[in-house]
A and B are shown apart, each in its own frame.
Chain A
Amino acid sequence: MKKKCLSLLLAGAMVLSMASVGMTASAEEDTIRVGMVTDVGGVNDGSFNQSSWEGLQRAMDELGIEADYLESATDADYATNIETFIDEEYDLIICVGYMLADATRAAAEDYPEQKFAIIDDSTCSDLDNVTCLMFEQAQASYLVGYVAGLTTESNTVGFVLGMSTDTMNQFGYGYLAGVLDANPEATILQQNANSFSDTATGKSMATAEITGGADIIFHAAGATGLGVIEACTENGIWAIGVDTDQSSIAPETILTSAMKRVDNACYDISKQCLEGTLEGGVVTYDLASAGVDIAPTTDNLSEDVLEAVNEVKEQIVNGDITVPSTQEDFEAAYGDIYELD
């Protein structure tokens, strides 16, 4: 009997620990309501989910829309969270991250009148009621590569990749192009950790590049990159962050970050929905639309570098510089020197 009671108690504890957090919103007529579904990172993940919600908060302040979010504790919550917003008749549902692609597709097919937007996924672009928000990460990577090329003293920089996919390789093409345009003499050491969560491997790969002479390392590897940043801190060299302004993790080590401005994308899409101009298909956010950029924290950049990067930024926006984002474009311009694809 004792055993049964205890099993029950422990099973109860398991259920409790998996419960998700929900919030509800009040309705009002003359405005729109935007619902945001996070991935398992939760709304305060210091990354995509958080910055999406910040964009919506800005939209609430400036555009007077109403917005709310539902956090997903497990993969199984995506569909139910989307369903909740549909039941409450939200005008637009924003799904944060490619992990929600399947759930978004299923819901969009079931409710063709409901409008959806999904971040970092283009597989749903064939559906009329889904807007896919994509980012030109090659451009942001080009800028940080340019910074690295100008800043390196050993003429050797490093790159640690999380996984070799077409989307992830865009980081590599942009970075290599940026480094070489700023510094044609530079050597670029490249490693593929093949994981977004293996901090130990990230750390030892960064150590290998440091041993090879790198004095700046850029990571596009999620949590694996934490290990990269740590190795850079321990060895007193620069690291370059990704996705968000990672300066807060290691203010003395992070030179700059290649940012995706998910907040701007969420703000824009809400605005379009409010004005009735929202269309399906793929919307790509680039430097010109302030969808990607280098980090606003520039404390570790020298005046000259900052000035040079701002110039390059303008040239990209003007179209004077075209940043390669595919294997063909990259190899046509720089040769087959990117090892990880």
Chain B
Amino acid sequence: MDTIISDLGLVINATLIAMPPLLYAALGSCFSERSGVINIGIEGMMTIGAFVGVVVAYFTGNPWFSFLCGGLAGAVFGLLHAVACVSFGADQTISGTAINFLAPGLAIFLCKAMFDGSSDSPSIDTASKLPRLLDGVFPVGSFWNNVLNTYSAAYLAFVAVLVVWFVFYKTRFGMRLRAAGEHPEACATLGINVFRIRYICVILSGFLSGLGGAYVTLATVSQFRPAIIVGQGFIAIAAVIFGKFSPHGAMLACLLFGLCTGLRTIASQGNWISPNLISMIPYVVTVITLVLFVGHARVPAANGKPFEKSK
């Protein structure tokens, strides 16, 4: 019984480590996709957020301010994506791909310029990291320590899901943004400014992705490295599609990915199963769930199509 409880604690702990960056980025992706703009550039926006977050923390020592700055750095690239795709009607996949090259390139360039040519940032001390509210309350290695003593921004990600869900389904802005992603012409006919809505949504998607990236360098680890964001952005995009483009669906998808990471940790104890099979767990579980329970995800009708007023 003790082993089961302790293993359960580890699975929850692993989920809380792996999931928050994905969840922030997935919420960002929801905004962009639902308003009708494909955002492949999540990965790049996360990387710049990760870099800016840790650098600001290194110089100011203020974790929440740094977290916010990481988000704002992502928002700047969101703005770039919005200018390209909304104002100029550029191909959204190309613009997003360009951001995935540009943002990490810029982060590494700035890192080398700031820290004597080193592509790794110096690591920040514990006080500059996002706080853990219940640090030292429970004994090390206990169930409650593993479950409750993680970074507060991890729990905040779940609050963010609630907020985004409320915005999407209970506010006028939410209804308009969903409409802009389904039938922008009809929106425009009714006097809604589709450009403005898409701008706000794409910038918000950059902001939330930036927060996801900043979480990695301000909580998961404590320094920036060139390969600090490897694929999380794309997993977040997959989670949004998996969750049928809704914030709560994306959360469940992220939860599944997180749980699988936890199962990997448990399953690899004692090395009874081949590590390569264990590494496959998240992907196998995803495919099975997708086929058996989720079914067809309906893409917002106007997703990826630039809106032109004159049409």
Contacts and interface: CB of A to CB of B under 8 A. Distances in A.
Interface of A: 2-3, 6-7, 10-11, 13-14, 16-18, 41-46, 164, 190-195, 197-201, 203-205, 207-208, 210-213, 223, 226-227, 230, 233-237, 248-250, 339-340
B268 A191 contact: yes
A207 B123 CA distance: 20
Contacts of A6: 84, 88, 90, 95
A38 to B, nearest CB: 11
Contact of B116 (A44, A191, A199, A237): A44
Contacts of A194: 268, 275-276, 278-279
Contacts of B262: 204
Which 4 residue pairs spanning A and B have beta carbons closest together?
A: A17-B105, A204-B14, A10-B98, A194-B275
Contact of A44 (B95, B117, B276): B117
A191 B227 CA distance: 22
A73 B262 CA distance: 34
Given A194-B276, A230-B222, A208 B266 contact: yes
A182 B279 CA distance: 34
Contacts of A18: 101, 105
Contacts of A191: 265, 268-269
Contacts of B132: 234
Interface of B is mostly: helix
Interface in B76-134: 84, 88-91, 94-95, 97-98, 101-102, 104-106, 112, 116-120, 122-123, 126, 132
B105 A208 contact: no
B246 interface: no
Interface in B253-269: 261-262, 264-266, 268-269
B270 interface: yes
A204 B228 CA distance: 16
Contacts of A7: 90-91, 94
Interface residues of B, number: 59
Interface stretch (B5-13, B170-178, B187-195, B206-214): B5-13
A207 B221 contact: no
A46 B98 contact: no
Given A3-B91, A190-B271, A248-B123, A14 B265 contact: no
Nearest to A211: B141
A46 B123 contact: no
A26 B107 CA distance: 32
B17 A204 contact: yes
Contacts of A213: 141
Given A17-B104, A45-B120, 17 more contacts: A6-B88, A11-B98, A41-B119, A42-B112, A43-B117, A44-B112, A193-B268, A194-B279, A195-B279, A199-B216, A211-B142, A212-B141, A227-B221, A234-B132, A248-B122, A249-B223, A339-B270
